[in-house]
Amino acid sequence: QVQLLESGPGLVKPSGTLSLTCTISGGSVGSSNWWSWVRQPPGKGLEWIGKIYHSGNTNYNPSLKSRATISIDKSKNSFSLTLSSVTAADTAVYFCARSYDFWTDYYPNWGQGTLVTVSS
Amino acid sequence: EIVLTQSPGTLSLSPGERATLSCRASQSVSSSYLAWYQQKAGQAPRLLIYGASSRATGIPDRFSASGSGTDFTLTISRLEPEDFAVYYCQQYGGSPRTFGQGTKVEIK
């Protein structure tokens, strides 16, 4: 059973860069799955940020205006999210998730989520 | 971008009652690539339904779903106490992937 665990700073200053890592256990980042990030502002709904495949192919939500970058680290069996030029609007619980397979990215597997607050 | 609109925003029901949740897409969702999730406070979403109508592993058969094109429905036949939560639909047929804004099922 694959397990995902998000990690990273819980507090980021405005205009700074948010960096999170999702560590995979019970599975491989090299498997035939997309690896995604989804966020949820406090009290609000879910927003898809983007995804990466082990080949390095990525796809992002245009609403983030190119501020998001997702990368893979095969040596650490993990993938990461960086979000630049953050504002208070980026305060959210950030989840990592694994797609069912390459062709169908609904999400049977989720991390527990990590709260990131943007504040000075 | 495919916008998903869920209704109602809140559903107030009693245990044992039937819940019917709607998810309407701004354009047709290809291949019925629509999923439903349940989320409880402080937890990650839990996959209930994929492919518009297929139950995920371990999901009780009181959860059923249907629909195609732009109109989708999630039905909980008889609400159990653990079913009171927020439910989201998600489409994975278009880019970017999008979620509905959620329907809260609360105890009446």
The pLDDT of residue B10 is above 90: yes
Burial category of A74 from C-beta neighbours within 10 Å (exposed 0-12, middle 13-18, buried 19 and up): exposed
Average pLDDT (A102-106) is 91
CB contact under 8 A, B44 and A46: no
> Tens digit of pLDDT for each residue in B82-96?
999 999 999 999 999
Optimal mutation site among A36, A63, A106, interface B, most CBs of chain B within 10 A: A106
Question: Looking at the complex, does the CB of residue A57 fall below 8 Å from at least one CB of chain B?
Answer: no
Residues 6+ apart with CB under 8 A from A45: B88, B99, B100, B101, B102
Rg (CA), chain A: 13
DSSP symbol at A31: S
What tokens were used for A116? 């990131």
What tokens were used for A111? 């991390």
The Cβ-side half-sphere exposure at A84, using a 13 Å CA radius, reads 6
Chain A residues with CB under 8 Å of B41 CB are: none
Distance of alpha carbon B3 from alpha carbon A3, whole angstroms: 30
Q: What is the pLDDT of residue A77?
A: 97
> Tens digit of pLDDT for each residue in B42-79?
999 999 999 999 999 999 999 999 999 999 999 999 99
Residue of chain B minimizing CA distance to A42 = B42
What tokens were used for B98? 């999008």
Average pLDDT score, chain B:
97
> Tens digit of pLDDT for each residue in A22-39?
999 999 999 999 999 999
User: How close is the nearest chain A Cα to the Cα of B45, in Å?
Assistant: 7
Distance of alpha carbon B71 from alpha carbon A67, whole angstroms: 33
The pLDDT of residue A7 is above 90: yes
